[in-house]
């Protein structure tokens, strides 16, 4: 899966070259960079870090990565997406699953792998934000996808 790591629930789909990561980052208020940023913002590190309940979608294809926040996204929606993806994988037929209007996955089985294409659509209203992208995530082993989904759902529970 991808090399991205956050300190909260995260669903990594893809490879080091192309991936999408649905994550709820948790910022550590004791980290030196957070302390400096909080001081620059005129707030305490704890206030700057916040409750860690803002979901983000990060993605990369050939070193051209970006990401955006998902206003209003909740844990229950992330879990429902993961459950829908698990069920689609278990059916072993081509499928499309969506996470809101910001992520759509098209996949088809190829032997023990799944060829996955991710369609990423940033929220409206971000003029200087990232553009919609289509990423070919490649052939991903079914066993790794299922293990990643199980891990993610445990983190959410």
pTM, 2 dp: 0.81
With H, G, I as helix, E, B as strand and everything else as coil, classify residue 96.
strand
pLDDT tens track of the chain, all 157 residues?
A: 433 445 789 999 999 889 999 998 777 788 888 888 888 888 888 887 766 678 899 999 878 788 888 877 888 999 999 999 999 999 999 999 999 889 999 999 999 999 999 999 988 766 666 788 999 999 999 999 999 999 999 998 8
What integer pLDDT is reported at residue 51 of this predicted model? 63
d(CA 88, CA 76): 18
- CATH number assigned to the domain covering 10-156: 2.30.31
- For the chain, give every domain's residue range: 10-156
Is residue 153 within 8 A of residue 83, CB to CB? The reply is yes
- Going from the C-alpha of 133 to that of each of 1, 16, 83, the distances in angstroms are 19, 17, 24
């Amino acid at each position: 899966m991808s090399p991205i790591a956050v300190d909260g629930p995260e669903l990594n789909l893809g490879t080091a070259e192309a991936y999408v990561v649905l994550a709820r980052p948790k910022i550590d208020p004791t980290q030196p960079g957070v302390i400096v940023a909080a001081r620059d913002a005129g707030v305490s590190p704890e206030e700057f870090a916040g409750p860690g309940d803002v979901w983000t979608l990060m993605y990369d294809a050939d070193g051209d990565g970006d990401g955006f926040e998902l206003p209003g996204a909740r844990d229950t929606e992330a879990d429902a997406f993961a459950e829908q993806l698990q069920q689609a994988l278990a059916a072993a037929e081509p499928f499309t699953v969506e996470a809101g209007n910001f992520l759509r996955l098209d996949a088809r089985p190829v032997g023990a792998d799944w060829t996955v294409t991710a369609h990423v659509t940033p929220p409206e209203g971000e003029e200087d934000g990232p553009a919609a992208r289509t990423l070919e995530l490649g052939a991903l082993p079914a066993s790794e996808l299922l293990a990643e989904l199980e891990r993610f759902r445990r983190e959410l529970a």
